[in-house]
Amino acid sequence: MKKGRGVFMKRLLAAFSVLLLLLSLFSFGSCSEQTVTKSVFAMNTYCTVTVPAKNADAADEIIRRVNALEALLSVSREGSDIYRLNYSDGEQTPIDNETALLLKRALELNSLLPAFDFSLFRLSLLWGFFDTPSVPDDADIKSALSHCGTDKLTVGDGFASLSGGAMVDLGAIAKGYAADEASKILLSHGVERALLNFGGNVFVLGTKQSGADYKVGIKKPYTEEILATLTGKDLFYVTSGSYERYFTEGGKNYCHIIDPKTGYPAESGLYSVTVVCEDGTLADVLSTAFFIMGAEASLDFINETHLCEAVFVTCGNGVIITDGLKDRFTLLSSDYALKD
Ligand code: FAD
Ligand code: MG
């Protein structure tokens, strides 16, 4: 039976409540230190910041920054830079320098990892991921795919243009960029410890007051349980998964991450990928690209570049972790087995 928007949105909100639940693992672990948590619904997710109460002004500044970034980068908000660019009929569009810089970074990362293709918005619309999802006709998918391609984007200082009917969507990079910007605000305020969760883009600053590490949970696919935990300070932990935004048609699940080679939702044998690294923007892009590439090609990439550590949760109930995580990873579910 086809699932309509209601079910899709319900699943979406359930996924976010789980992510918030994970945040509750982040006990500040101290009786003496008061904390404050600020949250905003932006970029179609909950963005949450937890800091010591004395740093509440840093949290307020982060919330303002996230709102400002959404106003620039949203695909669906009329008047945003990305919205105006997408509906400009190929005309040169004036955009903020920050949007131009992020588009340039996205182009660079697309060259490094072609699976990360932020020019697929026309396909996301066709699949209905921003409204009522359903499986389109194959001919329509092929037609939409022919309009996509990052080579159709030109970015200059303060302007951009799109040719050939392409449309861009920074949904796989902007939350990571926002988390990077938030981490800079924390450092500029001299904050010692903090936890951010921007819809699955987590940043851990410092340790608990006791000196112990915070634990970051990875969700067990399609459940409300925690599959595993990771530890490590001053790092971004970003997860892309098939169980967060998806719909079911004809007994098959279709997720929101599209393989640019086919125009269909990615099917690489993974339930999720969690990327751990010091760069939030890169971590966001890597997790999306790895989800499409699958574990084997992603591990080859990591072994060559050493850009990050990662956890792959496979559809065969296996878990693969990179060497750098061996002492920082704890598997909590006996339904899954750690693989070499
Ligand atoms: P990620 O893996 O990080 O990203 C997947 C998302 O990237 C997909 O949902 C799609 O948007 C895009 N994408 C799909 N395939 C690829 C690919 N191969 N390469 C690159 N990107 C791909 N959602 C709404 O429904 N309504 C909104 O109004 C809305 N506004 C947003 C505004 C902003 C500024 C941002 C950052 C996001 C917004 N979103 C909105 C959500 C967004 O479209 C994505 O669904 C979301 O960012 C997915 O994040 P993720 O961490 O689950 O997955
Ligand atoms: Mg991403």
Q: Return the residue matching tokens 């990615």.
A: 266
Determine the pLDDT at residue 66: 97
* 1 CB-near residues (< 8 Å, 6+ apart): 248
Q: Does 171 sit in the ligand 1 pocket, CB within 6 Å?
A: yes
Residues making up the chain, counted from first to last: 340
- How far is ligand 2, taken at its centre, from the CA of residue 258, in Å? 12
Q: Angle at which helices 295-305 and 280-293 pack, to 10 degrees?
A: 140
Distance CA 340, CA 318 (A): 10
Q: Does 260 sit in the ligand 1 pocket, CB within 6 Å?
A: yes
Determine the pLDDT at residue 31: 54
Three-state DSSP class for 338?
A: strand
- How far is ligand 1, taken at its centre, from the CA of residue 172, in Å? 5
pLDDT digits (tens, 9 = 90+) for 226-259: 999 999 999 999 999 998 888 999 999 999 999 9
Average pLDDT of the residues of the chain: 91
- How far is ligand 2, taken at its centre, from the CA of residue 171, in Å? 7
Determine the pLDDT at residue 2: 32
Mean pLDDT of 274-293: 98
pLDDT digits (tens, 9 = 90+) for 125-158: 999 998 899 999 999 999 999 999 999 999 999 9
Among 117, 257, 274, residue to substitute to test ligand 1 (most atoms within 8 Å of Cβ): 257
Query: Which ligand 1 atom sits nearest the alpha carbon of residue 82?
Result: 34
pLDDT at 4 over 90: no
Distance CA 8, CA 132 (A): 8
Among 256, 271, 275, 298, residue to substitute to test ligand 1 (most atoms within 8 Å of Cβ): 256
